[in-house]
Amino acid sequence: MAFSPDGRTMATNAGTTGDGAITLWNVADRSAPARTATLIGHSAQVESLAFSPNGRYLASGGRDDKALLWDVADRAHPRRLPMLNGHQSTVWSLAFSADGRTLATADSLQAVILWDTTNPEAPVQLNSMLLPSSRIVREVHFRTDGNVLAVARQGYDTPRRWHCGASARSTPSGPTRPSTPAPRSAAASPPRNGPSTSRRSSTGAPAEAPGDRATTPRLRTGVGPGR
C-alpha cells in the first residue's frame, strides 16, 4: 500500500486474490475510509505502489512484469498512462525522486531501471542496471536530494548505492571509486637510481593498492534489462 503525500488518499492492492486491481481510498476521515476508485491495468497481483511527491501520479509494479503510471489527480476518475516497458520479472519496488522527475523501478531479476518522468504522459527510459547478484531487489529509495539511489536486496544487510543526480541521470554509476592521486611532477619524482617506495607487481607495473578496485554493475543503455 501507499499513502499520498498529504495523507488523504491510500492506494492498496487486491491482496491474496491476485487479480491486479488497485483501490484508491479517501482516508481524510480515518474512522470512515471511503473507496473512491478501482484501477484496472495489471493482470497479476500488484506488489509495489508509490505516489509522486505532488500526489498527482501513482506508480505501480506487479507480478505480471509490468510497471504502470496513473494520473490520479481526479481521485474518482484515475487515468492510466503509458506502460513502462523493460522489466521481465516481478516489479518488487519503485520510488520517485523528491522532485518527481525520476522514477526507479526494480525487479526480481536484479534489474533496476531509471525513468525520466518529467512528462509522465511520455516517460523515457534513462538507463538500466543489472546487479551482480542472484538476490531479489526488495527496496529502492532516493536520497532526499535525488542524487543517490539506495538499492536493498533480499538477504543483504547493506544496500548498494548509485549516483544518479542531474549530471548522471543518463549514466548511473556504480559505487564510488576511491579518488586517484594526482600524478607526481617530475620535480617530486625520486632520482632514477635512488630508492623507490612504490610497490610493483611481478611484471614490473605498479601494484594495485587494496581498495582501488571497485565493483560496478553491468550497465545497459537505451534498452530494457534482459534475463
Give the pLDDT confidence of 83-103 residue by residue, as tens digits. Answer: 998 888 899 889 999 999 999
Closest CA to 39 of 99, 66, 96: 66
User: Is 202 among the domain residues?
Assistant: no
In a domain, residue 134? The reply is yes
Tell me the pLDDT band of 200, cut-offs 50, 70 and 90: very low
Tell me the C-alpha distance between 108 and 129, whole Å.
Answer: 13
Distance CA 86, CA 66 (A): 8
- Give 124's pLDDT tier (boundaries 50, 70, 90): very high
**What does the block give as the cell for 16?**
491474496
- Report the distance separating Cα 52 and Cα 59, nearest Å: 8
Residue 63: pLDDT band by 50, 70, 90 thresholds?
Answer: very high
- 54 located within any domain: yes
Q: Lowest-pLDDT range, 40-49, 101-110, 141-150, 197-206?
A: 197-206
pTM of the prediction?
0.69
Predicted local distance difference test score (pLDDT) of residue 77: 96
Q: Predicted confidence band at 14 (pLDDT cuts at 50, 70, 90)?
A: confident
Q: What single DSSP character describes residue 166?
A: G
Listed residue (149, 136, 43) closest to 102, CA to CA: 149
203 pLDDT higher than 80: no
* C-alpha–C-alpha distance, residues 1 and 48, integer Å: 7
* Per-residue pLDDT, 144: 84
Q: For residue 13, is it within any domain?
A: no
Report the distance separating Cα 157 and Cα 205, nearest Å.
Answer: 37
- Smallest Cα–Cα separation from 225: which of 101, 138, 128? 128
Question: What phi-psi label fits residue 216: left (phi over 0), alpha (psi between -120 and 50 degrees) or beta?
Answer: beta
- Domain-located, residue 194: no
- Within a domain: residue 19? no
Tens-place pLDDT, residues 152-189 = 765 455 556 666 655 445 444 443 332 333 344 444 44
Domain tally, the chain: 1
Q: Are 51 and 4 in contact, with CB atoms under 8 Å apart?
A: yes
Q: Is residue 20 part of a domain?
A: no
pLDDT tier at 147 (50, 70, 90 boundaries)?
confident
Check residues 210 and 196 and name the one with the higher pLDDT.
Answer: 196
Residue 4 lies in a domain: no
Instruction: Give backbone dihedrals phi and psi of 206, rounded to 5 degrees, phi first.
Output: -55, 135
Look up the domain containing 164 and give its range: 45-69+81-175+216-220
Task: Provide DSSP, 113-165.
Answer: EEEE-SSTTS-EEEEEEE-SSSS-EEEEEE-TTSSEEEEEETT-SS-EEEE-S
Query: Residue 50 maps to which CATH number?
Result: 2.130.10.10
